[in-house]
Chain A
Amino acid sequence: MQRRVLMALLAGSALGGAARLAADQPVEIRISAKKFEFHPNKVMAKRGQPLVLVLTSEDRIHGFKMPDFGVRADIVPGQETRVPLMPDKAGSFTFFCDVFCGDGHEDMDGTLVVEA
């Protein structure tokens, strides 16, 4: 699921530098949501390697919240929600749906594992 892409847009604008090291390019991670699960629900990352989460929904509006990194977004069907994230600490971190979506909402969660 995990693939590394050159984020030409980001490198060219927000990050400013024309010649970024490959290690600094954000890794894109796609996560899809549906009642009542994320797929994948376990995501691996490396400390210091910037990420862009690309969130989509297969059915209804869901939420995505990861309090340990101050991340939260709505996931609206029919569009990609892109969330930049810098995993600057190692460990296992929970993310979950924070838009109540039905009987099973409380179990809709996943883990980001950041390796040192």
Chain B
Amino acid sequence: MLQSDRREFLKLAGMAGVTFTAGLFPGERVAAQATDFHFVQFSDTHWGYSGAANPDAEHTLAKAVATVNGLARQPDFVVFTGDLTHTTDDPKLRRERMKRFREIVSALAVKDVRFMPGEHDASLDKGEAYREFFGAPYYTFDHKGTHFIALDNVSDPAAKLGDEQLAWLAADLKQRKPDDRIIVLTHRPLFDLQPQWDWTTADGAKAIELLMPYRNVVVFYGHIHQEHHHMTGHIAHHAANSLIFALPAPGSQPKRAALAYDAATPGKGLGTRDITVADKVTLIELPVTKG
């Protein structure tokens, strides 16, 4: 890491208040510098939402885009882990929201941007509008030696990956070596985080079972509108903040209702995340707007 990069890194860490480093990629020993990179995760932008939980809903996404554009070290790429738009019963309005969302995020300086659906985007029409705008809801890509797998657990309104996608995942994983770096991106938690709040994926355990033989697997997801870290065996699962409203910690109150907006601390609990992939995976939570 260059000195200037390190300073920026530390500045960011201070700004965000939280840096999360874990011995992730636990099977990894030595990593070549050439394979180090970072990317930014956006999640749960819910474009089209209006309500008391975020009076600034029309501007939050654009502000977060500007904040990421202001990073001294621009990320190699950006991922959006679902709920790009807020749900609507009106197929025409759904498409208008996707169109406007795409326009806003086209202001990102980084042009390599990957999308994933959330249930708000895809569950009412089984992903039809989503695919028109953003293409395949599940796919893989490779970046500097890391294999990325985007999984779709929302196009089925019952929150299933489904047998077809699981077979596709199994076939993809067969081509990996046990110590390959694998990053899984998805919307809902693959494990049973809080079943009473439906914070699960109906057949997520099957995906985790398929991933278990691989020693360097990290999962990034959204859906729960808060930072959260959990291990299933050696596999780390990191939930991201939302850009619309925060939800309570799992099981901390009877209902999973949105946390009330506080005018004194706008943007509290919201933001994006910078993820550095090296011999460790380092997470820096970024606020909506630079303070």
A interface with B by C-beta (< 8 Å): 61, 63, 65, 67-68, 74, 94, 96, 98-103, 105-107, 109
Q: Cβ of B198: which chain A residues have Cβ within 8 Å of it?
A: 65, 96, 98
Q: Is the CB of A102 within 8 A of B256?
A: no
The docked-state distance in angstroms from the alpha carbon of A103 to that of B202 is 21
Can you give 25 contacting A-B residue pairs, CB < 8 Å?
A63-B158, A67-B195, A67-B196, A68-B196, A74-B158, A94-B196, A94-B254, A96-B196, A98-B158, A98-B159, A98-B198, A99-B158, A100-B87, A100-B119, A100-B123, A100-B154, A100-B157, A101-B124, A102-B87, A103-B86, A103-B87, A103-B88, A103-B89, A106-B256, A107-B255
Most buried by A among B124, B159, B196, B255: B196
Q: Cβ of B254: which chain A residues have Cβ within 8 Å of it?
A: 94
Q: Cβ of A67: which chain B residues have Cβ within 8 Å of it?
A: 195-196
The docked-state distance in angstroms from the alpha carbon of A95 to that of B31 is 48
The docked-state distance in angstroms from the alpha carbon of A98 to that of B198 is 7
Other than A100-B157, A105-B87, give 15 A-B pairs with Cβ distance below 8 A: A65-B198, A67-B195, A67-B196, A74-B158, A94-B196, A96-B196, A98-B158, A98-B202, A99-B157, A100-B123, A100-B154, A102-B89, A103-B86, A103-B88, A106-B256
Task: Give the secondary structure class of B's interface.
Answer: loop
Q: Cβ of B159: which chain A residues have Cβ within 8 Å of it?
A: 98, 100
The docked-state distance in angstroms from the alpha carbon of A41 to that of B135 is 39
The docked-state distance in angstroms from the alpha carbon of A98 to that of B257 is 16
Q: Cβ of B119: which chain A residues have Cβ within 8 Å of it?
A: 100
Interface size classification for chain B: 10 to 19
The docked-state distance in angstroms from the alpha carbon of A65 to that of B197 is 10
- Given A63-B158, A106-B256, are A100 and B124 neighbors across the interface (CB < 8 Å)? yes
Closest approach, in angstroms, between the C-beta of A96 and any C-beta of chain B?
6
Q: Cβ of A102: which chain B residues have Cβ within 8 Å of it?
A: 87, 89, 124
The docked-state distance in angstroms from the alpha carbon of A61 to that of B202 is 17
Q: Cβ of A65: which chain B residues have Cβ within 8 Å of it?
A: 198
Closest approach, in angstroms, between the C-beta of A93 and any C-beta of chain B?
8
The docked-state distance in angstroms from the alpha carbon of A21 to that of B210 is 48
Q: Cβ of A107: which chain B residues have Cβ within 8 Å of it?
A: 255, 257
Interface string of B243-256 (1 = CB under 8 A from A): 00000000000111
Q: Cβ of B158: which chain A residues have Cβ within 8 Å of it?
A: 63, 74, 98-99
Most buried by A among B154, B157, B159, B202: B157
Top 7 A-B pairs, shortest CB-CB distance: A100-B123, A67-B195, A100-B157, A100-B119, A99-B157, A103-B87, A94-B196
The docked-state distance in angstroms from the alpha carbon of A50 to that of B142 is 54
Q: Cβ of A98: which chain B residues have Cβ within 8 Å of it?
A: 158-159, 198, 202
The docked-state distance in angstroms from the alpha carbon of A94 to that of B257 is 14
What residue in chain A is nearest B256 (Cβ atoms)?
Answer: A106
B93-140 CB contacts (< 8 Å) to partner A: 119, 123-124
B191-210 CB contacts (< 8 Å) to partner A: 195-196, 198, 202
Closest approach, in angstroms, between the C-beta of A81 and any C-beta of chain B?
14
The docked-state distance in angstroms from the alpha carbon of A99 to that of B198 is 10
The docked-state distance in angstroms from the alpha carbon of A94 to that of B194 is 12
Closest approach, in angstroms, between the C-beta of A64 and any C-beta of chain B?
12
Q: Cβ of B256: which chain A residues have Cβ within 8 Å of it?
A: 106
Closest approach, in angstroms, between the C-beta of A4 and any C-beta of chain B?
29
The docked-state distance in angstroms from the alpha carbon of A33 to that of B256 is 20
What residue in chain A is nearest B86 (Cβ atoms)?
Answer: A103
What residue in chain B is nearest A35 (Cβ atoms)?
Answer: B89
The docked-state distance in angstroms from the alpha carbon of A61 to that of B126 is 14
Closest approach, in angstroms, between the C-beta of B245 and any C-beta of chain A?
12
The docked-state distance in angstroms from the alpha carbon of A94 to that of B254 is 9
Interface string of B62-102 (1 = CB under 8 A from A): 00000000000000000000000011110000000000000
